[in-house]
Structure 1
Amino acid sequence: MGDFLIEFFEQFVREIIPTFLKVIGAGIKWILYLGKRSYSNIFKEEWNTRIGLGIIIIVISTIIYSS
């Protein structure tokens, strides 16, 4: 039972975190394109996860350095 819960949690984290970062990255790209391109097309492009990770790092750094 414990192994099942651990594997379930690991799989959950492996799928949710990259998807969350990809959504953030695609949202930032959509804002930078000023909505001229559809969000669904931007979401399919590469680099969204990296952009999302960069944004998260910038936000965390800003919070740390401002306090």
Structure 2
Amino acid sequence: MSFFEELIIDLGREGMYFFFKRLGMLAKWLCYSGKKPFTEIKNENWNTRIGFVLFLIIVGIIIYIVN
């Protein structure tokens, strides 16, 4: 593999991690009804896992609707 291919792959991995973490943070913030500040939620655990599960649920709903 060339340097650029590895760079693109690493950016994709970090980008997906960042996306899942932000999605999990948004879901937690909505569950708290905005009563907890976003900066406090940012430091909590499980944001990435919640975002990944939420992403899978969204993809599953889209596949269900399309079929």
C-alpha separation in 2, matches of 1:44 and 1:13: 23
> Where has structure 1 moved over 3 Å in runs of 4 or more?
none
Alignment map for 1:4-19 (pairs within 5 Å): 4-19=3-18
Unaligned runs of 5+ in 1: none
TM value normalised by structure 1? 0.89
C-alpha separation in 1, matches of 2:62 and 2:10: 29
Percent identity (aligned): 36
Alignment map for 1:24-39 (pairs within 5 Å): 24-39=23-38
Unaligned runs of 5+ in 2: none
Supply the RMSD in Å over aligned alpha carbons: 1.2
Alignment-mate amino acid for residue 8 of structure 2:
F
